[in-house]
A = this chain, B = another copy of it.
Amino acid sequence: MDPLFHPRAIAIYGASSDPAKIGGRPLDFLKSSGYEGALYPINPKAATIQGLPAFATACAVPGVVDLAIVAVPAPAVLAALQDCAAHGVGAAVVLSSGFAEVGGVGAEWQRGITALARRTGMRVVGPNCMGVINVRRRILGTFTPSAAGFGLVPGRISLVSQSGAFGGYCLSMIRQRGLGLNLWITTGNQSDVDFADCVAHFAQDGDTDVIVGYIEAATDKVRLIAALELARSNGKRIVLMKVGSSDAGAQAAASHTASLAGSDQVYEGLFRQYGAYRARSIDELFDVAYACSLSAPRPAGRRLGLLTVSGGVGALMADVAAECGLDVAPMPEHAQRRLKEILPFCGPRNPVDMTAQLVNDLTLFEKNFQLMLEEGGYDLIVAFLSSVGQVLPLSSALLDQLQKVLARFPDRTVIVSMLASPEVRRLYEAAGVMLFDEPTRAVRAARALAYFAEEAQRARNRGAPPLLPAAALAPPRTVVNEVDAKTILASAGIPVVRELVAATEDAGARCAAEIGYPVVLKVASADIPHKSEIGGVIVGVRDETGLRAAFRTLLQRAGQHAPQARLDGVVVARMAGKGVETILGVVCDPVFGAVVMFGVGGIFVEAFKDVAFRIAPFGVDEARAMIAEVKGRILLTGLRGQPPADEEALAAAIAALSVYAAGHADALESIDINPFLVLPRGEGALALDALIVPRACE
A interface residues (Cβ-Cβ under 8 A, vs B): 101-102, 145-146, 161-166, 168-169, 172-173, 176, 214, 216, 241, 243-246, 280-283, 309-313, 315-316, 318-323, 328, 345, 355-356, 359, 386-387, 390-391, 419, 437-441, 530, 533, 540, 601, 603-604, 606-608, 631-632, 634-635, 639-641
Contact = CB atoms under 8 A, between A and B. Distances in A.
Contact of A311 (B165, B283, B318, B359): B165
A101 to B, nearest CB: 7
Contact of A166 (B166, B172, B312, B601): B312
B320 A281 contact: yes
30 contacts: A102-B345, A163-B310, A163-B312, A165-B310, A165-B311, A165-B356, A166-B312, A169-B310, A173-B437, A176-B419, A245-B322, A245-B323, A246-B319, A246-B321, A246-B322, A280-B320, A280-B440, A281-B316, A282-B313, A282-B440, A283-B441, A530-B640, A533-B641, A540-B540, A601-B604, A603-B640, A606-B639, A607-B639, A608-B608, A608-B631
A163 B311 contact: yes
A243 B315 contact: yes
A604 B604 contact: yes
Oligomer copy total: 2
A313 B282 CA distance: 9
A310 to B, nearest CB: 3
Contact of A635 (B313, B319, B387, B603): B603
Nearest to A328: B246
Contacts of A146: 386-387
Could you say which of A162, A166, A345, A632 has the most chain B C-beta atoms within 10 Å of its C-beta? Answer: A166
A176 to B, nearest CB: 6
Contacts of A101: 345
Nearest to A419: B172
A533 B173 CA distance: 57
Contacts of A310: 163, 165-166, 169
A189 to B, nearest CB: 13
Nearest to A143: B356
Contact of A386 (B165, B176, B386, B391): B165
Contact of A319 (B165, B172, B244, B312): B244
A637 to B, nearest CB: 10
A570 to B, nearest CB: 20
Nearest to A386: B169
B172 A387 contact: yes
A634 B441 CA distance: 32
B640 A312 contact: no
A165 B173 CA distance: 31
Contacts of A641: 530, 533
Contacts of A282: 313, 316, 438-440
B165 A323 contact: no
Contact of A165 (B176, B309, B631): B309
Contacts of A245: 319, 322-323
Which secondary structure characterizes the binding site on chain A? helix
A281 B316 CA distance: 8
Nearest to A387: B172
Nearest to A608: B631
B640 A606 contact: yes
B176 A437 contact: yes
A386 B161 CA distance: 15
A169 B313 contact: yes
Given A172-B419, A245-B322, 14 more contacts: A102-B345, A145-B359, A146-B387, A169-B387, A216-B312, A243-B312, A245-B323, A246-B318, A246-B319, A280-B440, A603-B635, A606-B639, A606-B640, A607-B635
A390 B176 CA distance: 11
A119 to B, nearest CB: 30
A50 to B, nearest CB: 21
Contact of A640 (B320, B533, B640): B533
Given A145-B387, A246-B328, A606-B639, A440 B283 contact: yes
A127 to B, nearest CB: 14
Could you say which of A101, A241, A316, A323 has the most chain B C-beta atoms within 10 Å of its C-beta? Answer: A316
Contact of A168 (B168, B283, B355, B386): B386
A358 to B, nearest CB: 10
Could you say which of A162, A176, A243 has the most chain B C-beta atoms within 10 Å of its C-beta? Answer: A243
A603 B640 CA distance: 9
A129 to B, nearest CB: 12
Contacts of A312: 161-163, 165-166, 214, 216, 243
Given A243-B316, A386-B172, A608-B608, A440 B102 contact: no
A241 B316 CA distance: 9
Contacts of A172: 386-387, 390, 419
Contact of A607 (B246, B319, B631): B631
A146 B390 CA distance: 9
| A-B complex: 3 closest residue pairs judged by Cβ atoms | A165-B310, A246-B322, A243-B315
A439 B318 CA distance: 27
Contacts of A391: 145
A374 to B, nearest CB: 25
Could you say which of A161, A214, A390 has the most chain B C-beta atoms within 10 Å of its C-beta? Answer: A390
A280 to B, nearest CB: 7
A281 B440 contact: yes
A166 B608 CA distance: 36
